[in-house]
């Protein structure tokens, strides 16, 4: 059944800043070893303390980013909290061909675009906190926000929460280890969800001549 095979899958992880989605996604991805690939986005956002170019993001200027958009380098890109973020297409296609689970830590706009581009291979998880107060507390503890950016992130959080129905799974990150187990299950499930890929070909083949 070679003709049916799509090799890998895409796992989209979205949720408000401070929900813990990035740490969760990175840890689960790392634990899956060479079964998984974490896509590193390109951004125009200034680097935060402790972040590294090529590890957390590819940090570029607005001009460089727009050049990459022109070149068709991105599978999707969006403006989030006033900065540009984009997912590069080439690395994802390569990882998919290699049969990997591609982790995409992207916002709700990115989710819509990726689902449109790869309808049969996307599984998505929305990660959030149990309530608004917990999110505010986590963002304050992280110490990366000013009063102004905290306000923007909270407004965006509510907008993002309204998109939960578009996701396959909702993960309330109350207990890190339990949340990790949940996300790992979603990642593994994403690989078998692709069994419906290329259904038209399968039906043609099934019918025979
Ligand atoms: P942060 O600035 O906190 O690292 O990320 C802000 C938001 O941008 C997060 O919701 C994150 O998931 C999202 N994001 C990061 N990379 C991408 C990307 O390549 N595309 C899209 N659409 N969103 C992204």
pLDDT per position as a tens digit, 48-66:
989 999 999 999 999 999 9
Maximum Cα interatomic distance, the chain, rounded to a whole number of Å = 67
Report pLDDT for 27: 98
Domains of the chain: 9-39+100-207 (3.40.50.300)
Residue 129 CA to ligand 1 center (angstroms) comes to 17
Q: What is the 8-class DSSP label of residue 111? A: H
**Does 16 score more than 90 pLDDT?**
yes
Locate the ligand 1 atom nearest the alpha carbon of residue 144 and give its number. 3
Looking at the chain, the whole-number percentage of residues with pLDDT higher than 70 is 97
Token output for 89: 């297409």
Using the predicted structure, report yes or no on whether residue 2 has a pLDDT greater than 70.
no
Residue 74 CA: which ligand 1 atom is closest? 19
Residue of the CA atom closest to atom 19 of ligand 1? 86
Identify the pLDDT of residue 61. Answer: 97
CA distance 56 to 51: 6
Q: What pLDDT is attached to residue 202? A: 86
Q: Which residues line ligand 1 (CB under 6 A)?
A: 17, 41, 45, 76, 78, 80-81, 85-87, 105-107, 109-110
Q: Answer yes or no: is pLDDT of 201 > 90.
A: no
pLDDT of residue 120: 84
Q: How confident is the model at residue 199 (pLDDT cuts 50, 70, 90)?
A: confident
Nearest CA to ligand 1 atom 14: 106
Q: φ, ψ for residue 54 (rounded to 5)? A: 85, -10
């Amino acid at each position: 059944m070679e003709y049916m095979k799509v090799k890998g899958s895409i796992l989209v992880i979205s949720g408000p800043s401070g929900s813990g989605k990035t740490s969760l996604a990175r840890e689960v991805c790392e634990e899956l070893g060479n079964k998984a690939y974490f896509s590193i986005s390109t951004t125009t956002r200034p680097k935060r303390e402790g972040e590294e170019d090529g590890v957390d993001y590819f940090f570029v200027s607005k001009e460089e980013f727009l050049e990459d958009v022109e070149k068709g380098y991105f599978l999707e890109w969006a403006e989030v909290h006033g900065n540009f973020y984009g997912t590069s297409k080439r690395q994802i296609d390569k990882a998919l061909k290699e049969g990997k689970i591609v982790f995409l830590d992207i916002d709700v706009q990115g989710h819509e675009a990726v689902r449109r581009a790869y309808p049969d291979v996307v599984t998505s998880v929305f990660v959030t906190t149990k309530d608004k107060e917990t999110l505010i507390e986590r963002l304050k503890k992280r110490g990366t926000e000013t009063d102004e950016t905290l306000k923007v992130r909270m407004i965006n959080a509510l907008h993002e929460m309204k998109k939960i129905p578009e996701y396959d799974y909702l993960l309330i990150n109350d207990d890190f280890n339990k949340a990790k187990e949940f996300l790992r299950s979603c990642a593994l499930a994403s690989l078998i969800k692709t069994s419906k890929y290329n259904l038209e070909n399968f039906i043609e083949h099934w019918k025979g001549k």
